[in-house]
Amino acid sequence: MKLICEVVEDVQYITEENKDSGKKDLYIVGPYLQWDNPNKNRRIYPREILEHEVNNFSENKIKHNRAYGELNHPDTPKVNLDRVAVLIKELKSDGNSFFMGKAKVVDTPMGNITRNLINEGAKLGVSSRALGTLTAKDGYNHIGKDFALKAIDVVADPSMGNAFVNGIMEDVDWLWDGKEYIAEKARKAIEESVAHREFNEAKAFEIFERFLDGMILR
């Protein structure tokens, strides 16, 4: 699996009053992810695949305040809590071709740096960080069904973001993360079978057997 990152520069900064603290919270909002249309990295994210993973990310991370973002990309898919700058609060379809995001700048060392940069007029962007496979077709790279969104980071220099990502991060095969992916597939299979009222002892055994086979193969 490849580490896949997409930089978005077209974001805005808004403040909202926090009714609990009486202070104003700072948010970074804009089009975080795009489906079907080729992006500037010549990648295409099929709507069904992107929509499925965004729903998963929203349900399992955003809903539980676990959708973290760092200041600048680390060089691995792993989220480093000591570098968290934002907390993703929303990812919603605009009904056209984008998932609009809203990230709260949090009160951490990296969050405070982000806030100060914005207050000083710095140009920041956001960049999704994910794992997945790419299939070349008709001059474009198509995202595979194993796409897994890991984080959405703040990028301090959007104009250089793609050069950094393409030159350093995306050339690495992240095989070590395969077991996490296998476990995630098993979890999704259980949830889907429960939703369709198909989960029983035989189904549970089938999913568990596939999980063990995948772990052994890796």
- 21 in catalytic set: no
Strand order in the sheet with 68-70: 12-17, 24-34, 98-105, 84-93, 68-70
Greatest pairwise CA separation for the chain in angstroms:
60
Separation of alpha carbons 147 and 60, rounded Å: 15
> How many Cα atoms occupy the beta-carbon half-sphere of 212 within 13 Å?
6
Separation of alpha carbons 45 and 37, rounded Å: 7
- 58 in catalytic set: no
Domain ranges of the chain: 2-172, 177-217
Pairing relationship of beta strands 148-155 and 140-143 according to DSSP bridges: unpaired
Average pLDDT, the chain: 81
> Which residue among 93, 127, 159, 196 is the active-site one?
127
pLDDT band of residue 53 (cuts 50, 70, 90) is: very high
- Tell me the three state secondary structure of residue 157: coil
pLDDT in tens, 106-161: 999 999 999 999 999 988 889 899 888 889 988 899 999 988 999 999 987 654 33
Q: What is the pTM of this model?
A: 0.72
> Which residue among 73, 142, 159, 193 is the active-site one?
73
Separation of alpha carbons 126 and 71, rounded Å: 9
* Amino acid, res. 210: R
pLDDT of res. 159: 46
